[in-house]
Chain A
Amino acid sequence: MTEKKKLGRNQKDTNDDMINLVDNLNREDDLKYNRRAFLKTAVGTSMALGVATIPFSVKAMLGFSEKESEKVEIARLSDLPKGESITFHYPTEKDPALLIHTVKGELKAYNNACTHLMCPVFYEKEKDVLLCPCHAGFFDVNNGHPVAGPPQRELPLIEIEVVNDIVYAVGRQYRHE
């Protein structure tokens, strides 16, 4: 504030900023962005969120097209030592999966697209855990359920069978214990 302005404070048409306190108000904005407009936008938001669920319902009612499970050879068990994992695709080429021979000697297989944002999930043998490095999501290697980070759903489980040292994928479960 300048000294000149201060002196003119009580005069007519003064420019003193303590007198013209409403100069920063734009009349148009005041009419457009107000309490009533806020409530109308809130109702619109609520409606939009509700309508956004419809495409998912329609797709679900039409049915999820799951291909019949086939028996697919993954690898030879002797080629997969404890603490190692290999990538394969099941049930289609678009579904990457991970076969894990855990440090405890168990065989586990899951689709390895993270259930958060579909980043690939890797096996960390030092911690015996599945890790999604994108956003630090951790999954329990024993059941594929999320244990830390943003993922909320478990990894789809690939059912496996071992016959004559060969590991086969025989089916897939989306939700499992």
Chain B
Amino acid sequence: MSKSACWTIIIISIIVNVIMLNRTVEAFYGREPEILLVYSGISLVSSFIALLTYFQWRKVEY
């Protein structure tokens, strides 16, 4: 994976996580536990992808 691809994935993961955090909070105050868990799950998966991408970037960069 190229360095620019790593950058793109990490920036996209931030965008996804900001949206998911907003929706999680809205679902929490709207008392919708099922949909809240979906948003939270997406957010955690996105964070994990960002972490894996970072390790990949580190391998290429150094």
Residue numbers of A with Cβ under 8 A of B are 36, 39-40, 42-43, 45-47, 49-54, 56-57, 59-61, 63-64, 66, 115, 152-153, 174-175
- Counting from the closest, the 8 A-B pairs by CB-CB distance are A50-B47, A49-B17, A60-B33, A53-B40, A46-B50, A57-B40, A174-B31, A43-B54
Interface size, B (range): 35 or more
Contacts of A40 in B (CB 8 A): 54
Closest chain A residue to B53 by CB distance?
Answer: A43
Q: Is the CB of A50 within 8 A of B17?
A: yes
CA distance A21 to B59 in the complex (A): 35
A46 B31 Cβ-Cβ under 8 A: no
A16 to B31, CA, bound (A): 67
Task: A152 to B26: give the CA distance in the assembly, Å.
Answer: 8
Chain A residues with CB under 8 Å of B5's CB are none
Q: Are A42 and B11 in contact (CB under 8 A)?
A: yes
Q: How far is the CA of A63 from the CA of B36 in the complex (A)?
A: 12
Q: How far is the CA of A50 from the CA of B14 in the complex (A)?
A: 9
> Which of A39, A46, A174 sits near B57, CB closer than 8 Å?
A39
User: Could you tell me if B10 and A53 are in contact, using CB atoms closer than 8 angstroms?
Assistant: no
Query: 17 A-B contacts, Cβ less than 8 Å apart?
Result: A46-B46, A49-B14, A50-B47, A53-B40, A54-B40, A56-B27, A56-B28, A56-B40, A57-B40, A60-B36, A61-B33, A63-B33, A152-B26, A153-B30, A174-B30, A174-B32, A175-B32
Q: Would A60 and B37 be within 8 Å (CB), given that A36-B61, A40-B54 are in contact?
A: yes
Assess the B43–A61 pair: CB atoms within 8 A.
no
Contact indicator B33/A43 (Cβ below 8 Å): no
Q: Which of B20, B33, B37, B47 contacts A64 (CB 8 A)?
A: B33
